[in-house]
């Protein structure tokens, strides 16, 4: 009985560690200035944040094809881009997974998924996994809102308060943060807990 109980406790601890996180220790924090990056988009073109001359900021989302949490948020990510790209805050999606460690997350797979879901935003491949550690992303999805003028991080965390069920959303963290920035107001919640799958490495 003790063995079964210990096993269950250990399993719960592993599940909690896998699903919940804010960021890794060495990643960007609120107020930090980020470095620009150059990553390949699904159209085979290289994308840099500096390419966006008219942007006011960016909704950078680390996501992927295979994580059920990411899949559950795909429509919401499309909706964020549709709502805020014209206002100066485009979505920039980045797949941080090593495709050797996560079958179905390769570059060609990303092209297929983007076409299936009608992605309206860049879907970049973090080849060699060089970018996500700088941000400190640990989950998919994991969101970073960046102010273009200062290149400072304004928000880190989840898209909203319902990781899988869009019908259960009662607080839209990303929308609230971007709306505040667009209105030159203070963001009420600059950090929330990212809920998702761990980023896959070999």
Residues 112-141 have pLDDT tens digits of 999 999 999 999 999 999 999 999 999 999
Q: What is the pLDDT of residue 23?
A: 40
So where are the chain's domains? 22-198
Least confident of 4-18, 20-34, 77-91, 151-165: 4-18
The 10s digit of each residue's pLDDT in 45-68 is: 999 999 999 999 999 999 999 999
Give the pTM. Answer: 0.88
For residue 73, how many C-alpha atoms fall within 13 Å in the half-sphere facing its CB? 31
Q: What is the CATH number of domain 22-198?
A: 3.40.30.10
In the structure encoding, which two tokens stand for residue 163, read together? Answer: 């990781």
Q: What is the pLDDT of residue 13?
A: 36
End-to-end Cα separation, the chain, in angstroms: 36
Q: 3-state class of 147 per DSSP?
A: strand
Q: Helices in 44-136 by DSSP H: which ranges?
A: 68-84, 107-117, 132-135
Sign for the CA dihedral angle at 189, 190, 192, 194 comes to positive
Q: How far apart are CA 178 and CA 88, in angstroms?
A: 10
Q: Which residues lie closer than 8 Å to 44 by C-beta, 6 or more apart? A: none
DSSP state of 33: B
């Amino acid at each position: 009985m003790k063995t079964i109980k210990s096993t269950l406790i250990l399993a719960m601890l592993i599940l909690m560690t896998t699903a919940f996180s804010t960021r890794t220790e060495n990643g960007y924090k609120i107020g930090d200035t980020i470095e620009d990056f150059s990553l390949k988009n699904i159209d085979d073109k290289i994308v840099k944040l500096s390419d966006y001359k008219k942007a006011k900021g960016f909704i950078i989302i680390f996501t992927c094809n295979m994580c059920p949490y990411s899949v559950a948020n795909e429509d919401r990510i499309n909706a964020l881009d549709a709502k805020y790209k014209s206002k100066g805050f485009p979505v920039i999606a980045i797949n941080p997974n090593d495709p050797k460690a996560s079958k179905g997350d390769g570059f060609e797979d990303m092209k297929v998924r983007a076409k299936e879901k009608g992605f309206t935003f860049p879907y970049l491949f973090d080849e060699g996994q060089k970018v996500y550690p700088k941000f400190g992303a640990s989950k998919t999805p994991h969101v970073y809102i960046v102010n273009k003028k200062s290149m400072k991080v304004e928000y880190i965390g989840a898209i909203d308060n319902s990781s899988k069920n869009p019908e259960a959303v009662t607080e839209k963290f990303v929308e609230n943060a971007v709306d505040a920035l667009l209105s030159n107001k203070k963001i009420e919640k600059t950090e929330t807990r990212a809920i998702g799958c761990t980023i896959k490495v070999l």
